[in-house]
Amino acid sequence: MSHDSLLARPSQTLCLCGARGEAGAERGWTRILSLGFGLNVLAQALALSQLPEAARLSAPSLERVGWPLALLLLGAALASLPAALLVDSFGRRAAFALGASLGAAGGGLAAFAIAHTNFPALCLGALWLGLAQGFALFYRHIAAPAGGGLAVLGGGALAALAAPLVAGLGDRLGGGAGIVVSASLAYVASLALALRLPHAFAEPAASGEDFRLDARFVLATGAGAAAWFVMASTMLHGPLTLSSVCGAAPGFVGGATALHLLAMYGPAALAAQRPALFSPLRCVALGLGVMAGAYAVMAAAYSPLVIAFAMMAIGACWSLANIGALRLLHECSRPRAALAAHDLLLLLAAAAGALS
């Protein structure tokens, strides 16, 4: 039987018996985490597709148009440490259900803000959506000790395949507000999956160990931060260049964004099945090197096709860099504080990239 130490409460009855064996249980939990992470990525993709235009229409001044996106990234960074602490204090089920609940509420509030052109509500909804993203990022750390971290990242590929269809349906039902309502519903589905998780399950994470800044941690965090910086800048400037400079149709911009998202998570699904092909150091070096070149091409290009392909290349290289960083980070057991600090620095780098 595999389980973590549980917090005993008066009159509480906890069942530690399992219907499946230990290996089967871990595989089942990893599948739930992968699907839940994919739903979170889907929700974020739907929300991010509407935030810039909603902010442009409702912001009281041009200087405040970027506030909702900045607050979303800030919320994700602020949730890093609470997510780590709550996972240990209240269990995986409660922690991830709380994150999904924040996302569902944030999506509903953002949809209300879009429908009523209410900028303060849009900013608050974006902050709650960011908090949910911070919790969702911790999925990969929970699954990594059992070998499922890359499989969880690969679950984001499902979001890329589903995003255009869900966005089109939401647009027909309610325009931009309907798309954000679809994001809220994706969080509701993620909440339902979180409630299927056991209260806690075994992992060799030594939360009581000292926080050591060893070479693997520094390399994983530095490489991840660089990749997230470039990725966030790409997701801001790529679609804006396509629409405002190249005059591309909205459908083309949406398709390019969806392909970029697929490239961001597709390689992780392959790496989960063939880990021997993805050496951590080679992934980091190749990912960051090609990403820098692709970003330079995107920044200098005026052709919609060139920009779209550059966005795909950046997405794939972001995935390679994060595959290498995740494997380096979990080559040894690390305390929750180290994992939270890693995520915090990555998200702060993404915020800087979005504002660059």
**What pLDDT digit, counting tens, does each position of 65-118 carry?**
778 877 888 888 888 888 878 876 777 788 888 999 999 999 999 999 999 999
Three-class secondary structure of residue 350 per DSSP: helix
What is the rounded distance in angstroms from the CA atom of residue 14 to the CA atom of residue 76?
32
- Residues 54, 55, 56, 60: is their CA dihedral positive or negative? positive
Nearest residue to 107 via CA among 155, 171, 179: 179
Could you report the per-residue pLDDT of 283-319, keeping only the tens digit for each? 999 999 999 999 999 999 989 999 999 999 999 999 9
- Taking CA atoms, 275 is separated from 217, 279, 343, in Å, by 20, 8, 23
User: Average pLDDT, stretch 258-267?
Assistant: 83
CA-CA-CA-CA torsion for 29, 34, 36, 39, nearest 10 degrees? -160
Please tell me which of 61-70, 184-193, 249-258 the model is most confident about, judged by mean pLDDT: 184-193
Segment (H or E) for 184: helix 156-194
User: Can you give the pLDDT at residue 15?
Assistant: 47
Q: Which residue has tokens 């915020």? A: 351
Fold for 26-194, please state it.
Answer: Growth Hormone; Chain: A; (1.20.1250)
Distance of CA 146 to the CA centre of its chain: 20
Residues recorded for the chain: 356
Reported confidence tier of residue 189, pLDDT bands at 50, 70, 90: very high
Report the largest interatomic distance among the alpha carbons of the chain, rounded to a whole angstrom: 66
Q: Between helices 119-137 and 156-194, what is the axis angle to 10°?
A: 90
Comparing 57-71, 149-163, 259-273, the range with the smallest average pLDDT is: 149-163
- Angle among Cα 99, 103, 105 to the nearest 5 degrees reads 115
User: Can you give the pLDDT at residue 233?
Assistant: 87
What is the rounded distance in angstroms from the CA atom of residue 47 to the CA atom of residue 65?
15
**More confident position, 31 or 280:** 280
Tokens of 227: 């990749």
Distance of CA 201 to the CA centre of its chain: 22
Tokens of 196: 């299927």
Could you report the per-residue pLDDT of 8-52, keeping only the tens digit for each? 444 444 444 444 444 444 566 778 888 888 898 888 888 877 787
Can you give the residue ranges of every domain in the chain? 26-194, 215-355
**More confident position, 50 or 148:** 50
